[in-house]
Amino acid sequence: MKKVLIVAAMALTLAGCETARQDRVAGGALIGGGAGALIGGLASNSVGGAVAGGVIGAAAGAIIADATRPGRCYYYTRSGKKRYVSCR
């Protein structure tokens, strides 16, 4: 029990050292992983399916959360290149 409390305290300490982008990606990974594990477990009726669904869901959730973060706008230059700027 003592080890679990120490590990939990260490994890909470390190969780405060994130930027807003990392926090958003971590949240997306947690939500995607939980949903993927639930769907994978129900669809396959096995632990392996739940693990695979959780891994795939976490990866997809992190990617989607990073791609949809606010504050990043883009425009196309005359040459057709995409340029990113901060939104106002």
41-86 pLDDT, tens digit each: 999 999 999 999 999 999 999 999 888 877 767 788 899 898 888 7
3 state DSSP class of 18: coil
Is the pLDDT reported for residue 18 higher than 80? no
Short-list 29, 63, 56, 30, CA closest to 41: 56
Give pLDDT, residue 88.
61
Domain ranges within the chain, ordered by starting residue: 2-86
pLDDT interval class at 15 (50, 70, 90)? low
Question: Is residue 27 within 8 Å of 64, Cβ to Cβ?
Answer: no
Phi, psi of 12 (to 5 degrees): -65, -35
